[in-house]
Amino acid sequence: MSKPEVAIASGSIKHRRQWLVLSLTLILAVTAVTASIAIGPIKMSFKEVWQILLDKSVEQDVYYQIVWNIRLPRTLVGMLVGTGLALSGAILQGVMRNPLADPHIIGVSAGAGFAAVAALTIIPNFPSSYVPLAAFIGALTSAAIVYGLAWKAGVSPMRLILAGVAVSSLMSAGTSGLLVVFSENVQAVMGWLVGGLAGRSWFHWHQLWPYIAVAGTISLFTGRQINILLLGDEMATGLGMRVERIRVLLIALASILAAAAVSVAGLIGFIGLIVPHIIRLLSGSDYRFLLPASALAGGSLLVLADIGARMVMDPIELPVGVLTAAFGAPFFLYLLRRGQKH
């Protein structure tokens, strides 16, 4: 006998749905990237976009310059940032077994913000190209402090959340303090604090992709572990998992993903919290599907929001966080209401 007969029936319905959602997020990602390159003050068709991307013989062309030097890097950075935030949020929600967990909860955002603001305000003539590095270090340091404070013969999710809230508040207070004391530098800092993809280039891409590629790839293989962790610490131990070791690995992955994302794009909220929920409502809590689908959807949502941020009040750019909320919140609420009926 192979699979139980009922297994095949149940497997097929649920599985088909999971693969469908995963395929849709992939299509969404390709569409979002193409649209983001096509749409702008100078418009192109989707066909032209792919011709320019695939054909290098037209290098002199102004369209070629717009695509390769401006829109493609910005779009790809947006894709990576969204992917990093969504993966980080999905992992943390699983590790903490808490639907409200997101990259902010482990102090990553506040730490990045504090380090960036401190560097820009305290150090005279701090080169802005080093801001991502400062933010990245600040983010990881902050996450490490939170983990260290939560440690007491092991880390319980509840202590982790409380330590995260405390450290984040402290860091935010520090950030506010710095902004008041060094108010003459606020302008330089504000753009980064609000977050966005304006002016993001290959420079940022090169800073970002190694972290997202490595941490993202590893995290895609953790789905089964998180599935076990969702049964509770004791049950996971009972099933032979080294809970503490897996948890610290997962938190480290989530921290690196979120730290890399916010260091390049600033404090973009919402994606890390909402995207995993949207995927969960669509295809269930099986992390083997939730992780890749969230990664694709997170990137897509941010890139789509960025198109809006550029175009809605053209020529003024809106902060992309405003748009991610405007896109995602209603959709999320719709799914929530629909889900309650069953």
Partner 1 sequence: MILGAKNLTLSYESSIIVPQLNLFIKPQEVVTFIGPNGSGKSTILKALARFLKAKNGVVYLNGQDIQTLSTKQVAQKLAILPQTPQAPADLTVLELVSRGRAPHLKWWQRSSSHDYEVINWALTETKTMKLADRLVGTLSGGERQRAWIAMALAQSPEILLLDEPTTYLDICHQLEIMELVTKLNQELGLTVVMVLHDINQAARYSHRLIALKKGQIVAQGSPQQILTAELLADVFRVKAIVKSDPESGNPVCLPYGIAESCSECLS
Q: Does the protein bind partner 1 through residue 62 (CB under 8 A)?
A: no
Within 96-115, the residues that bind partner 1 by CB under 8 A are 97
Q: Does the protein bind partner 1 through residue 242 (CB under 8 A)?
A: yes
How far is 35 from 75, CA to CA, in rounded Å?
10
| Binder among 26, 191, 248, 286 for partner 1 (CB under 8 A) | 286
Collapsing DSSP to helix, strand or coil, 1 comes out as: coil
Q: For partner 1, give the closer residue by CB, 114 or 287.
A: 287
In the DSSP assignment, the letter for residue 144 is H
Query: Alpha carbon of 273 to those of 150, 151, 304: distances in Å?
Result: 22, 24, 17
| Binder among 68, 194, 285, 335 for partner 1 (CB under 8 A) | 285
Residue 341 Cβ, how far from partner 1 at the closest point, in Å? 15
Q: Tokens 């984040």 identify what position?
A: 168
- Contact of 44 with 38, CB cutoff 8 Å: yes
Residue 238 structure tokens? 């009972």
Angle at 199 between CA 297 and CA 63, to 5 degrees: 85
Residue 214 Cβ, how far from partner 1 at the closest point, in Å? 18
| Part of the chain binding partner 1 (CB under 8 A), chosen from 31-39, 40-48, 127-135, 218-226 | 218-226
How far is 326 from 274, CA to CA, in rounded Å?
12
| Part of the chain binding partner 1 (CB under 8 A), chosen from 113-121, 127-135, 176-184, 222-230 | 222-230
| Binder among 248, 284, 317, 335 for partner 1 (CB under 8 A) | 284
* Residues 129-151: b if buried by 16+ CB within 10 A, e if exposed: eebbebbbbbbbbbbbbbbebbe
Which residues contact partner 1 by CB under 8 A?
1-4, 6-7, 9-11, 14, 97, 221, 224-225, 227-228, 230-232, 234-235, 237-242, 284-286
